[in-house]
A and B are shown apart, each in its own frame.
Chain A
Amino acid sequence: MSRTMIILLALVAIVFAVSWAAKSASLDDQYDDYISRGFLITLAAFLTLSILSFLYKDNPFYKFAEHLFVGVSAAYWMSLGFWSTIVGNLIPRLSVTLSAFFKVPHIEDEYALYILPDKVSYFIPVVLGILLLMRLSKKAGWISSWPLAFIVGTTAGLNLVRYLRSDFIEQVSSTFVPLLVDWQGTGRFFSDFNLYAYGQFVTMLGNWVIFIGVLCGLVYFFFSKEHKGIFGGASRVGIWVLMITFGASFGYTVMGRISLLVGRLTFLFHDWLELIG
């Protein structure tokens, strides 16, 4: 470790200690556990700044925050998976004795009467899970392909029906829109013309955009034909429609990201430094 790094680390340690002491002192009259609260707020601020330091370049503080974040989250998700999925969902349905051992209420098998004998349906995921773990063995590793095939195949099959309905049938039928809405003649159209969001003109314009946009968008995603001539023209309109949509989506999401940044800055300047009220 270089001398500069040692000095930098010592400096950060001193700033951390001072911040901890100052924060604890400011919380003294509000909480009994002000020392631990002061430590946690200071640590959170230190980790936030460590992550933000990535904007400058990769550095030891970022590496520390990254490894801490990854390690803690990996352990947390594993623990959560065990306690919520295996102990929370599986064991209460598998066995009364095991439920008592883990101190979780036993749940009766609601599918037992109609499809499979009692408890059998819950042993299927248990067996698949064990087969999946077989990949830890060099000799029996090939068995793990079976549960993988089962997971990928069944979910893809189920998704096919779901997507076909929501992304195909319902979207196509949503393009069945009238071109002329509440049409009472050209004179009436111009005399009542307005740009209200639910007005006649905007609704009709929206219907035109939906119909042409969907058709040209579909043409763009047609892969069996070169995009030339009329087909190419429609495809170009399609990509324009897509890009305008993406632009709107981009702006909308950036606004959301700014609110996240404001949240972190509020934490730093309000909760930690108490510079803003």
Chain B
Amino acid sequence: MKFKMLLALILLCFVSAVSGFGQSAEEIMALPDSMAMAPPAPPSNVRGVDTDNDHGHSITLTWETSPDDGAGLNNVIGYKVFRAESPDGPFIERALIPSGGTGHIDVGAKEKDANDYLPDHVGFYYKVRAITADSLIYAESEVFGPVQSYGQWFNTGRVPVLVFVIFFLFVTLFFIQKAKGGANLFVRRLAGIEAVDEAIGRATEMGKPILYVLGLGTAADIATIASYTILGRVAKKVAEYQTGLIVPCYDPIVMTVAQETVKASYMDAGRPDAYYEDMVYFVTQSQFAYVAAVNGTMLRERPATNIYMGKFYAESLILAETGALAGSIQISGTDEIAQIPFFVVACDYTLIGEELYAASAYLGREPLLLGSLKAQDYAKAAAIIIAIIGFITMNFGIEAFKHLFYVSN
């Protein structure tokens, strides 16, 4: 009896060793499923089209899930997407999608030397593989292709932007025409700008120069463009009063435009002889080195008035504090929200954000600028009306109005 029991025990150990000895508990648990697993049905109806509203290098794929995904054998754990330049391959894996997935956007790089490069106007072939827990058991769809990617000239997801551009364009042109026709377009008083003439007069009386800082923006920043107009006005007054003007520049292109602006203003004032190029000069493109140089100028030249108009960053407070220490009247204006507080605390007058743009129109009184300023006001009125309508509709549970303003990337 004991011998039989011993023999049975040895036999049991042998069977155990053959079937699963040395494997982890998880592997042993997984084996029966795996061994019993039948291949799933493949995904079907694989389709690919160029991705809409993009710059190319992207193909959108869709497919119908395997009948064994969430039903049937229920053994599909995901899908692998493969791409090739020929229907015969070689196919490269492009994505792994979890079960239930019915699509994938195959986005490649646009640079030719990138590993992930997906050229436009080249036919590609795709297939989708339904995978199971066992890497050897899977089912592949039929190969679909060829499909090409290409860029679109028009992004339909940005229609709201187009509508507003047309609206602004129309309103701007309308008011420019109106201003050209001699209509008196009212612009409310801006204290900061009224102070400019006063500050120039003070500098003339004191026999000290005016320091004009255009900020750290590039020549094409809107704040810098607005600043050119104000600089033109200041330069004209300076030329008329025969006061000194110092314009240290951070950007060489800004310096070039500023030189042209100041030169034109001196000519307008009938004083081309008083203009010399070095009144507008380049310092450096290093932010704090520029600040160090301008601070030094403030304390050595002791300008009567410092005007900061344009794009400013961390240097705003350093400049404005030094100017205050030097005892200058200071007028500032920037659309850089984070820097406005520093100008507010350290300057005598500050043009906040859009006031800077308005100032250029207010000073110039040119039909072009006045017309665009009026158009901006009408745009703001439109924004107020839209905000109120949107607010009301949202509070009545109507989401459709909000969707009108959705802009895709």
Q: Which of A33-41, A116-124, A159-167, A269-277 contacts B (4 or more CB under 8 A)?
A: A159-167
B341's partner among A54, A224, A253 (CB-CB below 8 A) is A253
The answer for the CA separation of A112 and B299 in the assembled complex, in Å, is: 54
**A265 lies within 8 A of chain B by Cβ:** no
Given contacts A164-B164, A172-B390, A218-B380, whether A223 and B407 have CB atoms under 8 Å apart is: no
The answer for the CA separation of A164 and B382 in the assembled complex, in Å, is: 13
The answer for the CA separation of A154 and B218 in the assembled complex, in Å, is: 13
- Across the interface, name the chain A residue whose C-beta is closest to B56: A114
**Contact between chains at B340 and A246 (CB < 8 Å):** yes
Which residues of chain A have C-beta atoms less than 8 A from B405's C-beta?
169-170, 172-173
Which residues of chain B have C-beta atoms less than 8 A from A107's C-beta?
112-113
**A144 lies within 8 A of chain B by Cβ:** yes
**Contact between chains at B289 and A69 (CB < 8 Å):** yes
**Contact between chains at A69 and B288 (CB < 8 Å):** yes
**Contact between chains at A155 and B218 (CB < 8 Å):** yes
- Closest chain B CB from A109 CB (angstroms): 9
- Closest chain A CB from B152 CB (angstroms): 12
The answer for the CA separation of A211 and B188 in the assembled complex, in Å, is: 25
**B352 lies within 8 A of chain A by Cβ:** yes
**B373 lies within 8 A of chain A by Cβ:** yes
**A190 lies within 8 A of chain B by Cβ:** no
The answer for the CA separation of A76 and B285 in the assembled complex, in Å, is: 9
**B253 lies within 8 A of chain A by Cβ:** yes
Which residues of chain A have C-beta atoms less than 8 A from B289's C-beta?
66, 69-70, 72-74
- Across the interface, name the chain A residue whose C-beta is closest to B190: A223
Which residues of chain A have C-beta atoms less than 8 A from B185's C-beta?
224
- How many chain B residues have a CB neighbour from A under 8 Å? 79
**Contact between chains at A176 and B160 (CB < 8 Å):** no
Which residues of chain A have C-beta atoms less than 8 A from B168's C-beta?
164
A223's partner among B188, B218, B395 (CB-CB below 8 A) is B188
Contacts of B351-377 to chain A: CB distance below 8 A: 352-355, 358, 362, 373-374, 376-377
Which residues of chain A have C-beta atoms less than 8 A from B276's C-beta?
none
**Contact between chains at B284 and A77 (CB < 8 Å):** yes
- How many chain A residues have a CB neighbour from B under 8 Å? 68
- Closest chain A CB from B132 CB (angstroms): 41
**Contact between chains at B284 and A221 (CB < 8 Å):** no
- Closest chain B CB from A52 CB (angstroms): 12
The total of Cβ contacts below 8 Å across the A-B interface reads 181
The answer for the CA separation of A173 and B80 in the assembled complex, in Å, is: 39
Which residues of chain B have C-beta atoms less than 8 A from A148's C-beta?
219, 253, 256-257, 260
**Contact between chains at B380 and A221 (CB < 8 Å):** yes
**B156 lies within 8 A of chain A by Cβ:** no
Given contacts A73-B286, A250-B342, whether A165 and B253 have CB atoms under 8 Å apart is: no
The answer for the CA separation of A159 and B373 in the assembled complex, in Å, is: 17
Q: Which of A1-9, A19-27, A55-63, A83-91 contacts B (4 or more CB under 8 A)?
A: A55-63
Which residues of chain A have C-beta atoms less than 8 A from B386's C-beta?
172
Given contacts A70-B284, A156-B220, whether A145 and B260 have CB atoms under 8 Å apart is: yes
The answer for the CA separation of A163 and B395 in the assembled complex, in Å, is: 28
The answer for the CA separation of A132 and B252 in the assembled complex, in Å, is: 11
- Closest chain A CB from B115 CB (angstroms): 15
**A65 lies within 8 A of chain B by Cβ:** yes
- Across the interface, name the chain B residue whose C-beta is closest to A224: B377
- Across the interface, name the chain B residue whose C-beta is closest to A51: B292
The answer for the CA separation of A165 and B168 in the assembled complex, in Å, is: 13
Which residues of chain A have C-beta atoms less than 8 A from B352's C-beta?
242
**B2 lies within 8 A of chain A by Cβ:** no
**Contact between chains at A144 and B285 (CB < 8 Å):** no
**B11 lies within 8 A of chain A by Cβ:** no
**B337 lies within 8 A of chain A by Cβ:** yes
Contacts of B264-290 to chain A: CB distance below 8 A: 282-286, 288-290
Task: Supply 13 further A-B pairs (C-beta < 8 A) apart from A163-B222, A172-B405.
Answer: A58-B300, A69-B289, A70-B292, A154-B220, A175-B387, A176-B390, A176-B394, A223-B190, A224-B374, A227-B188, A246-B340, A250-B345, A253-B342
Q: Which residues of A contact B (CB under 8 A)?
A: 51, 54, 57-58, 62-63, 65-66, 69-70, 72-74, 76-77, 107-108, 110, 113-114, 132, 135, 144-145, 148, 151-152, 154-156, 159-161, 163-165, 168-170, 172-173, 175-180, 211, 214-215, 218-219, 221-227, 242-243, 245-247, 249-250, 253, 257
Instruction: Write 22 A-B pairs (CB below 8 A) sorted by A numbering.
Output: A66-B289, A69-B289, A74-B286, A77-B286, A107-B112, A132-B253, A135-B256, A144-B256, A148-B260, A151-B219, A155-B219, A159-B220, A170-B405, A175-B387, A176-B393, A223-B358, A224-B185, A224-B187, A224-B188, A224-B374, A243-B344, A246-B341
